[in-house]
Homo-oligomer: A and B are copies of this chain.
């Protein structure tokens, strides 16, 4: 957060990573706001794109409490973006999945996100973009990271 103090090599990278992330999230958040979507709901919809998880799985995935997820999904369902259905294997569980309308919204968000972030990455030339991508992917894969 502070630039004047001398930082170790690792600290400078952490700084750059945080700044990059704040900027990226601000861009995504702005796109979400245009659709009345919070960052959490954007992540949920992204997960639902190719999965049909239970409420608890979703909550764990996002690091939220199950009650929080109940509210989030209830509001999304009221808007026609997702549907809840009883799980056949386990009478206690509830599965969540996208409606057609929800899926279309995800597609649209994807496109808008790509467009909005393009200016940032296009400040690097093609070979640097390639290198950055490789480094990020290597870092993410090493951590067994799950983004959304």
A30: CB under 8 A from chain B? yes
Mask, A113-124, CB within 8 Å of B = 1, is 110011111111
**Chain B residue at minimum C-beta to C-beta distance from A117:** B14
A9: CB under 8 A from chain B? yes
Number of copies: 2
Residues of A within 8 A of B (CB-CB), count: 59
In the bound complex, do residue B114 and residue A11 qualify as a contact, i.e. CB atoms below 8 Å apart?
Answer: yes
Please list the residues of chain A having a beta carbon within 8 angstroms of any beta carbon in chain B.
1-2, 4, 9-14, 16-26, 28, 30, 39, 43, 46-47, 49-50, 63, 106, 110, 113-114, 117-124, 126, 128-133, 135-140, 142-143, 145, 147-148
